[in-house]
Structure 1
Amino acid sequence: MASAGDVFDHGRHGTSLAQVQEAKASRCSPPSVAGPPKPLLVAAPCDAGEYPVVVFLHGYLANNYFYSQLLRHVASHGFIVVAPQLYTFSGPDTTAEISSAAAVTDWLADGGLSSSLPPNVRPNLTVVSISGHSRGGKVAFGLALGHARTSLPLAALIAVDPVDGMAPGRQTPPPILTYREASLRVPAPAMVIGTGLGEVPRGVLRPPCAPLGVSHAEFYRECAAPACHLVARDYGHTDMMDDVACGAKGLCKSGGAKGLATRAVCKSGGARAPMRRFVAGAMVAFLKKWVEGRPQWLDGIRERPEVAPVVLSAVEFRDAGTRIHGVMLPA
C-alpha cells in the first residue's frame, strides 16, 4: 500500500534528460514547427505511456540544468518536466520572461515536444502545470494571472521559494503581490514551498536571497483557495538545486561559476539531498492530487508532516470555503 513518504523517494520510472535547442527562425520553417522559442531541458519517464506535462522555470540568473536532479525525481513519478532557459542575463523587469514562458507553453500545444521524448512516450496536453523557483516562481504566478496569454488550460501552480523583488515597495515589474489577503486568484490550485533560511542574510554585506515581505509567506497569504504552504525550516533558498549545480555530464559548459555562486550567495542548510527530495516529493504529491485526482499522498503529508525528509515549520492548507481573518473564500 502506498504511503505519503513514497513521493520523497525516486519513483518507479527510469528517466531521460534531453536538451532541446532553440529554434532558428527561417522563411521555410517557423519557430513553432522547427523547435521551441527557448532552449529546453526535458526530463521524462523512459517507459512507454502518456504523461502530464509540467513547465519548470529557473531562478534568477540560474541555468535550467542546475535543477536536473529535481526534475528527474519528479519525472520518475510519471510526469514530463519541461524546463526552458528563459535568459542568460536579465535586468529587473520580468515581463519578457512571462511572455517567453507563455510562448514555450504555446509551442507545447502545437505538438513540438513529442520529437524530444523517448520512444512511445507521449505528452498529455489537455492541461499543463506551471512551476518555478525564486524569480521563476514569480514568473509562474505572472503567467497564471494572465500577464501573458497562453492557449493551454492550467492544472496546477507550484512556486518554490518565490521572490517578488527586494522588499515591499521595491518589487520588480510587473509586481505580483498586492498585500491584500486572498487576492491572487489564479485559475488553478496553488502550492507555495518556502525555506526557513531564505529570509536570512548570508552575511553583513549580503542581503537575504528571499527577503521578508516579498517571499513565500506573503505569496501564500495572498493565494485564494485552494492553496497550501509547506516550509522547510532549516534549508536555504538554493538548497533544492543539484549537489554540483552543473547538471548532468556535458551540461555544465559556462555555468560552473554560476553554479558555485548558488552556494556562496544564499544562506544554506548544508547537504542539499534532503531538501531536494522534499521539494520534488511535495511537487509530486500536489500534482498527483490536482492533475491525476489521487489525493492520498498530499493528504498524508498534511496529516503526518514528519514523513518529509526535512523538518517543516509550516504546514498550511487553505480549502475552498474556509475563513481567513474574517474573509470567506468561495467554495
Structure 2
Amino acid sequence: MFYRDKALFQCEMPGDAFELLRADASNEISFAAAIVDWYPNNLADSLLRERSLNSLRIKPNLEKLVLIGHSRGGKVAFGLATEFCKTSLPYSAIVGLEPVDGAFENTSLKPQVLPYQPNSLNLKYPTMIIGAALSPIALLPLMPPCGPRGVNHEVFFENSSPAAVHFVVEDYGHMDFLDDSVWTTSTIVCTSGRTRGPMRRFSGGIAIGFLEAVLFNNTMAFDYYLENPHQAPTVTLSTAYDKGWSDRPASTKAFASSA
C-alpha cells in the first residue's frame, strides 16, 4: 500500500470469528513473534521477488515497525509489546482497535499480558486505543458482549502508560471495523451500528494520523482531532483521552524528527 511518497507493508495474521472462545492466546503471540523475526533476513528479498514491486527498488525500514490489532488481535499485539515472546526487532508504536483481553467480564485469557494496574505498561513508544461505545452491550440476554467490561478497550488504556491516547466512538460496536463481507455473521454475534463505512474511515484515518505523528513528526492533523474531538469526520466521539501525549518521552519525539 502506498501513502504519499511512502510504501507501507502490512502482515496480517489469520483469525476466525470464534477465536474469543479459546482460552489461551499464547500460540497466536508466538506465531506473530516468529513473523517479526522472519523480517530481517527475508523481507527485503521477498519484496524484490514480487513482480509488482521489484522495479521500485523498495528497501524496508525495519526501524519503523508498528503493532496493530483488533479484538483478540489487540491482545496479541500487546503480548508482543510486553515481550511475552521477545523478538529481534524493536517497535515504534502500538494501536489497539477494540482490543479485548477475554471473552467474559473481568475474566482474562492466558497468557496474562495486562498487569491490571493503572499506568503499569511501561512501553517505550506511544500507544493509541480506539473503542466502540456499543461493545460492552450484549446482543442477546444469554450472550456475553463482544467487548466485556473489565477486559475491553477501557482496561487497555487504563493500563497504558504515557504517551497514550484513547478514542471512544458512539453508536458503533466491536465488529464495525471489519469489511462488509462479514456483516451478516458479526451482526448475529455482536451489537453493531447501522453501517460500517464511517467507522472504518475514521479508524483508518486516525491511525494514519497517529503514525504520521509518531514516525514522521507530522502532528498537526492528529493533534487537532485529539484537541477537538467534536470535529471528527464521519463519526461522533463520546470521549478522547490524552495521557501524556503532548509530554511524551523525548526519545519518541527524537525518533520521529530524525525520520
Q: TM-score, normalised by structure 2?
A: 0.85
Asked if 1:107 is matched to 2:38, the reply is yes
Show the counterpart of 2:228. 304
- Greater than 4 Å deviation, 4+ residue runs: 86-90
Q: Distance in 2 between matches of 1:275 and 1:176?
A: 27
Q: Distance in 2 between matches of 1:50 and 1:310?
A: 27
Shift of the 330–201 alpha-carbon distance from structure 1 to 2, 3 Å rule, reads: same
Q: Distance in 1 between matches of 2:3 and 2:199?
A: 25
CA contact (8 A) 1:164 1:214 kept: yes
Asked if 1:82 is matched to 2:11, the reply is yes
Structure 1 position 150, deviation (Å):
1.1
**Structure 1 regions of 5+ residues with no counterpart?**
1-43, 52-78, 246-258, 323-328
Moved more, 184-193 or 162-171: 162-171
After TM superposition, the structure 1 = structure 2 runs for residues 179-258 of structure 1, keeping only pairs within 5 Å, are 179-245=116-182
RMSD after superposition:
2.4
Q: Distance in 1 between matches of 2:163 and 2:50?
A: 34
Q: TM-score, normalised by structure 1?
A: 0.67
After TM superposition, the structure 1 = structure 2 runs for residues 1-331 of structure 1, keeping only pairs within 5 Å, are 44-45=1-2, 51=7, 79-85=8-14, 91-112=22-43, 113-114=46-47, 115-116=49-50, 118-119=52-53, 120=56, 121-167=58-104, 169-245=106-182, 260-305=184-229, 306-319=231-244
Render the CA deviation track for 1:40-74: whole Å, top value 9, x for unaligned: xxxx2298x653xxxxxxxxxxxxxxxxxxxxxxx
Q: Distance in 2 between matches of 1:107 and 1:313?
A: 40
CA contact (8 A) 1:84 1:104 kept: no
Q: Distance in 2 between matches of 1:203 and 1:243?
A: 22
Structure 1 position 140, deviation (Å):
0.4
Query: One-letter code of the match for 1:101?
Result: A
Larger helix share, 1 or 2 = 2
Query: One-letter code of the match for 2:120?
Result: S
Paired-residue identity, %: 35
If asked which structure has higher relative contact order (CA below 8 Å, sep 6+), I would say 1
Query: One-letter code of the match for 1:81?
Result: Q
Shift of the 86–106 alpha-carbon distance from structure 1 to 2, 3 Å rule, reads: farther
Render the CA deviation track for 1:184-237: whole Å, top value 9, x for unaligned: 122311001000000000011221000011101111011000000001111000
Query: One-letter code of the match for 2:2?
Result: P
Render the CA deviation track for 1:232-269: whole Å, top value 9, x for unaligned: 11100000111223xxxxxxxxxxxxx63222200001
CA contact (8 A) 1:50 1:123 kept: no
Secondary structure, counterpart of 2:226 in structure 1: helix
Larger strand share, 1 or 2 = 1
Q: Distance in 1 between matches of 2:226 and 2:245?
A: 16
Q: Distance in 2 between matches of 1:231 and 1:299?
A: 16
Q: Distance in 1 between matches of 2:92 and 2:128?
A: 12
Show the counterpart of 1:56. none
